[in-house]
Structure 1
């Protein structure tokens, strides 16, 4: 269903402010330095309007950002909402600063993104890891079991919060309501990195979003499944177990002082669109993805994640039984102008959003089926992403390791040493090694498998993994 974005402006104060700036065409004597000229570096700066002296006055007398955040809080049922122009990375790190004190312990799902682990470094928090259950048929993660959180909290009664990531990168959905119950039995907040779930709760076929299920804080990326600019994210919180002033301080401490107005305006516009037309747009996208899953399941050897425990808008295909190398399929799709979110040897992940149409999803499906048939080979066992099978061994808190003296050693000499760096296959950016953890044969084998599967090893000082940075003993 086509929509007119200008029709949203009455309910989207930041979008309205962005449009008014364009209509007024001022001659600014403020930053940004391009001064709205497109003849210097081209249209790459088109639409770049600052919040300060752009969407609002330099003194923020118009209050348009606060108005937009109040509307988002109301839509998601939160007490507090803050928009982020630094993605869920900024949002996660601001929450880490808000919910506990330096030196405190928190329970953390190992499926969380690197941004939260580095948030632990910033805040001086020590993680007690809980791991997701894994589907033995695909090697892919399911949710973290509420009983695993209960056991962790019973063993660490002074823990101050529980952090989980849900849904997973591949689209599996856990028992967030059960996790909230487990956290609240110990009177600590449940924080959910729901970066991939901005659309949850806005169509009857979708899971409810974390706040509806009892979570205390929800971080979500407006740019992942909603039509907002890259880096657009939202922090939503209920304040019964979370100090609103601490959260505000955490957001401001880690945010840029020059926020991009276009990102903020697109967040506001995406919220208004979701509120007005979300159910209809999402319904069409869900139907298109349902058809794609049905077609792909009919292809010999392909396994497609589906069912009540999977996001209806994620298209995750396991290729191993068809003997297909996902890297070859990805190249075919790139050649066809159809880039996907992630591909390695065994698993391909495509994101479908409310911006998709039956035609776009069908085109991807056609190309995917054709590529699979061209690249068939002998069936092999499924091996899930490296991040999920490694048992971390904490030696010192992440912050201590991050700031310790370090040295580079050959990877052959690294086993048994304490990692000073974060190493993660990307995507999805879930660590195999984190600062303060013992380097084990298991971790190195997992990273080696990821490289052989065609996954980029990210964040390591030496991306070839010939050496690792370790804490000086």
Structure 2
């Protein structure tokens, strides 16, 4: 007999005669009690339950949720899987807290998500930042190399773990296999933030999953690139370098004690689709993608940066990095458009909501759920805008590339800085001061300046430049930033 998915079990329970004298307060009966409640939410409420008999407990799974996590682990080739209904944020917090003791040392890529910095604060960690190089000829930040990591491990033998992002927000992937071999040779733990790589390993057109390449702990966001609901993620464990008891402990600390069964059902159903269809789930994706790239080869001013293009082959030969087929970056360096202006045109004139705008490109995330019409509309927009740029023949705007992250000196620990008294100063007068908060572009949420670091004139110039480009800089309020208050 085929075992029911969690979603099927929820639907069967909703159709049963069990009356809920328990949470949640809507009692799965909004249709009966509040018929004017939005219909879509009425349908969702029928399946929205708490930890009742027969439906297990996320923080101590022994039944249906244990089976669901084991299914996901098997599909990814992991030994264990931990569901996260608090996104990859909770997965990262859990992984770092379990792998690095309080006050310990963590080697990490500077272009990590802000959740990593939050774990540094919460656990009073000592970070050792490694700065990825910019991919030649672009404004894309690369990822770490094994040479960088080996040098850092030699200089920091007391570090407990190494953490990097692969793929990056732009889709750049590291050589995880060689990095894992290096990290393990030093007896350390490798944590990979693969939030944007949940689809890796499920089709030969994608890079392999970090799990298969030797990462000890891998965090993937199902909701980013898979058919799943927002906030759904997995923490995948391979091997035994990190205690399973500590992982379960911190998973329970960083997640709600009332996890959403709608989210967990979505995760289980997503994994069920992968198990059922395998690589075939992406057949239409690659068919449409190939047609799209063939058309894009005729563009005169716009350039598409993604896997399978002349650009990506050159990048791989020069850096060893691979590119995710699911990221489509449309670059404007040969036009008069900034990335933000290009983004706004696509949104307002073509009703195409892109993922992100950078200095001279915009990012689209493409998945197995994109339709032929979606691919066609993106192509039509790019072709029309490209034709306009050719006809207008306006001068190219210079200096629109994103800059390398400034290397800053840590004056006091990140934790002490966030807990210290603060003051505000104009951004123009911030050089030489110690930062009291994060300053970052969001998305993707990577700090330009972290609390406790000395702000340099270079950092001020980078922040000013990004604001002039109308990019979303967080941490600057009315031209002022937060610094540590002098006693």
TM-score in terms of structure 1 length: 0.91
2: CA distance between counterparts of 1:241 and 1:326?
43
2: CA distance between counterparts of 1:147 and 1:215?
17
**CA gap 1:465/1:193 in 2 versus in 1, 3 angstroms:** farther
1:14–1:265 contact (8 Å) kept in structure 2: yes
Q: Choose from 41, 44, 47 the match for 2:44.
A: 47
**CA gap 1:173/1:11 in 2 versus in 1, 3 angstroms:** farther
Q: Specify the alignment match of 2:9 in structure 1.
A: 17
2: CA distance between counterparts of 1:57 and 1:63?
6
Instruction: After TM superposition, give the deviation of residue 363 of structure 1 in Å.
Output: 1.5
Q: Specify the alignment match of 2:92 in structure 1.
A: 92
1: CA distance between counterparts of 2:53 and 2:40?
18
1:133–1:145 contact (8 Å) kept in structure 2: no
1:84–1:233 contact (8 Å) kept in structure 2: yes
SS of the residue corresponding to residue 210 of structure 1 reads coil
1: CA distance between counterparts of 2:363 and 2:485?
36
Unaligned runs of 5+ residues in structure 2 are 307-311, 314-321
Instruction: After TM superposition, give the deviation of residue 10 of structure 1 in Å.
Output: 4.5
Find out whether 1:237 has 2:237 as its counterpart. Answer: yes
Q: Choose from 407, 413, 438 the match for 2:454.
A: 438
2: CA distance between counterparts of 1:12 and 1:208?
29
Q: Specify the alignment match of 2:110 in structure 1.
A: 110
Q: Specify the alignment match of 1:362 in structure 2.
A: 376
For 1:394-419, what per-residue CA distance to the aligned partner results, in whole angstroms no more than 9, with x for missing partners? 22221121222222223233222221
2:433–2:454 contact (8 Å) kept in structure 1: yes
For 1:334-390, what per-residue CA distance to the aligned partner results, in whole angstroms no more than 9, with x for missing partners? 23332110124411100000111333212112123223433563224464435x432
Find out whether 1:452 has 2:429 as its counterpart. Answer: no
Q: Specify the alignment match of 1:133 in structure 2.
A: 133
1:91–1:233 contact (8 Å) kept in structure 2: yes
Find out whether 1:329 has 2:342 as its counterpart. Answer: yes
Instruction: After TM superposition, give the deviation of residue 270 of structure 1 in Å.
Output: 0.8
1:406–1:420 contact (8 Å) kept in structure 2: yes
Which 10-residue stretch deviates more, 261-270 or 29-38? 29-38
Q: Specify the alignment match of 1:422 in structure 2.
A: 438
Q: Specify the alignment match of 1:279 in structure 2.
A: 279
Instruction: After TM superposition, give the deviation of residue 106 of structure 1 in Å.
Output: 0.8
1:401–1:471 contact (8 Å) kept in structure 2: no
1: CA distance between counterparts of 2:118 and 2:353?
29
**CA gap 1:53/1:139 in 2 versus in 1, 3 angstroms:** same
2: CA distance between counterparts of 1:451 and 1:250?
38
Say how many residue pairs are matched.
462
Q: Kindly name which structure, 1 or 2, has the bigger radius of gyration based on alpha carbons.
A: 2
Q: Specify the alignment match of 1:5 in structure 2.
A: none
**CA gap 1:169/1:11 in 2 versus in 1, 3 angstroms:** farther
Superposition CA RMSD, Å? 2.3
Which 10-residue stretch deviates more, 200-209 or 330-339? 330-339
Instruction: After TM superposition, give the deviation of residue 121 of structure 1 in Å.
Output: 1.0
**CA gap 1:103/1:296 in 2 versus in 1, 3 angstroms:** same
Q: Specify the alignment match of 1:353 in structure 2.
A: 367
Q: Specify the alignment match of 1:341 in structure 2.
A: 355
Deviant stretches of 4+, over 4 Å: 9-12, 57-62
SS of the residue corresponding to residue 433 of structure 2 reads coil
Which 10-residue stretch deviates more, 26-35 or 138-147? 26-35
SS of the residue corresponding to residue 72 of structure 1 reads helix
2: CA distance between counterparts of 1:33 and 1:301?
56
**CA gap 1:294/1:414 in 2 versus in 1, 3 angstroms:** same
Find out whether 1:223 has 2:215 as its counterpart. Answer: no
SS of the residue corresponding to residue 91 of structure 2 reads helix
SS of the residue corresponding to residue 161 of structure 1 reads strand
1: CA distance between counterparts of 2:54 and 2:142?
42
